[in-house]
A and B are shown apart, each in its own frame.
Chain A
Amino acid sequence: MDVIWDSRDVILKSFWLTVQLLVISGVASMVVGTFLVTARVSPIPVVRGVGVTYVSIFRNIPLLMVFVLVVEGAPRIGLMADVPFLLKGCIALTIYTSAFVCEALRAGVNSVSLGQAEAARSIGLTFRQSMGQVILPQATRAALPPLTSVFIALAKNTSVAAGFGLVEATARFKSVKKFVPGEADTLVLFAVIALGYIIIVEVMSFGSNRLERRWRLAR
């Protein structure tokens, strides 16, 4: 118990890193995913193809491989050698997660009735305007529950960074575990770390619920 209490600083610090990974790659995935979904429903076939290809590549390969590519592959050919590890971790997570964000948003876009798009275009809005001002706002609202699942998965996926130079919560769990005597204390440490993740995810679920309620009233 003493070991765990004495390690509270480093454990908290590691959770701060987990949160940084989550927030930075979460925001970036949302941005990239929005571009991707716009590409996927675009009237231009080539752009649509790019969106489809991206999603089928990065949704279908394991996150670990994306990490190997970004953290080990890219520096080997001189790319991103000077990019900080935190940023490299965020890039890897974003490449992977944005494909899922795109698909969650696409489900939302499909739920917006075609009449909305037709009406938007008929009053003279361009494709970009009708996407940005009419379709995506409604789509995001409908996509909120699946998006929440994507971001919860992201919160836990940050632990993959443990093997790629980032001492986040899972990596810290491994290093503190060695100094914890006995199985009972190891379980306590496990519970502490697990609780940290649970809190992070619960905060996200809470926020998502609030948003859902608020947006439902606005409709």
Chain B
Amino acid sequence: MRLKRTTFAVLAASMVMAVSACGDAGDDDSGDDAPDAEVAENAADNFDDGTAMKQLAEDGKVTIGVKIDQPGIGFLSGGSDIPTGFDIEVGEWLAADLGIEPEDVEWKETISDNREPFLQDGEVDLVVASYSITPERRAIVGQAGPYYITGQQLMVQKDNDEIESVDDVKGKEVCSVTGSTSLDQVEVKGAEPRGFDTYSQCRDQVLDGTVDAMTTDGSILLGYVAENPDELKVVGPEFSEERYGVGYSKDSPEMCQWITDVIQEKMDDGKWAEAFEATLGESGVETPDPPKMDACKSS
């Protein structure tokens, strides 16, 4: 029975330590030094009556669904109200065109699973959340873009030399978000899939050495590497193509052309590149050329 007491003491101690260890994650504020978009004045006059844009501009508020746990793309650091990242920049351009200041935008956290329902139920007006364009998604929601193209890659500990590309994952433990396509992709390649609820949990598993690699879009991985450049690295060529688009409701097809025009303008005047350098570019990756966007179906 004496043994039980020791066991308990060890357990209690490890619990206290574990709880305190959890507190140090994610306090690195990468800052937002991208230039603010110029907010349009009397924006409502620029839109035709009956369009969703007119409505939003008149209301003076817009709800944008974003990720808040992906550094460089959409990340909310503790203590601040406005997330930072490339997706957020895109959201700010669109809001500015509606005459809405960034601080008046309602940034709503979306996770991968609830982006379509949020758009369908009108919970958010737009989704800019590392949202890959796929035919399945385009069947139920609208997606304009792509405003950025990335692809699935692997992230490992810096000193790992066993995994150099996706062909090396056979028999290895690879984590991602539960139910994500990325996880299915590596499972097909023979990896042991380890699903977590969020990307940051998965990143921690790689840092702690409990899994061999993490997999998802390269842009998301680059954001994590930028936070821990001494411990992590991204390896291998991209083994899928992810084309990030802006999600909107199927009820407002007129939004497609508007979104495409706003982004195209930023691509042409160099604001796209500036925003990239200030966000994803911080991981040291070269600024790519802006992708060519899909034409909108005339409604």
Contacts and interface: CB of A to CB of B under 8 A. Distances in A.
A145 interface: no
B197 to A, nearest CB: 4
B175 A72 contact: no
B135 to A, nearest CB: 11
B18 A76 contact: yes
Given A171-B195, A178-B179, A54 B8 contact: yes
Nearest to B17: A77
A50 B21 CA distance: 26
Interface in B161-209: 173, 175, 178-181, 183-184, 193-197, 201, 204-205, 208-209
Interface in A35-82: 35, 39, 42, 44, 46-47, 50, 53-54, 68-69, 72-77, 79, 81
Given A165-B196, A167-B195, A177-B179, A76 B204 contact: yes
A190 interface: no
B8 A162 contact: no
B15 interface: yes
B114 interface: no
A53 B209 CA distance: 33
Given A50-B4, A50-B8, A74-B14, A165 B211 contact: yes
Nearest to B9: A50
Contacts of A75: 205, 208-210
A174 B21 contact: no
B22 interface: yes
B19 interface: yes
Contacts of B197: 163
A44 B209 CA distance: 42
B175 A165 contact: yes
B5 interface: yes
Nearest to A95: B11
A175 interface: yes
B22 A76 contact: yes
Contacts of A166: 194-195
Nearest to A88: B210
B113 interface: yes
28 contacts: A42-B1, A46-B5, A47-B1, A47-B4, A50-B5, A53-B8, A68-B22, A73-B14, A74-B14, A75-B210, A77-B14, A77-B17, A77-B18, A77-B21, A81-B208, A81-B209, A81-B210, A163-B195, A163-B196, A163-B197, A163-B201, A165-B173, A165-B195, A174-B178, A175-B178, A175-B183, A175-B184, A175-B195
Please list the 4 inter-chain residue pairs (A to B) with the smallest Cβ-Cβ separation, ordered nearest first.
Answer: A73-B18, A174-B179, A165-B194, A163-B197
Interface of A: 35, 39, 42, 44, 46-47, 50, 53-54, 68-69, 72-77, 79, 81, 85, 162-167, 171, 174-175, 177-178, 181
Given A76-B208, A77-B21, A175-B179, 6 more contacts: A69-B19, A72-B208, A73-B22, A76-B22, A163-B197, A167-B193
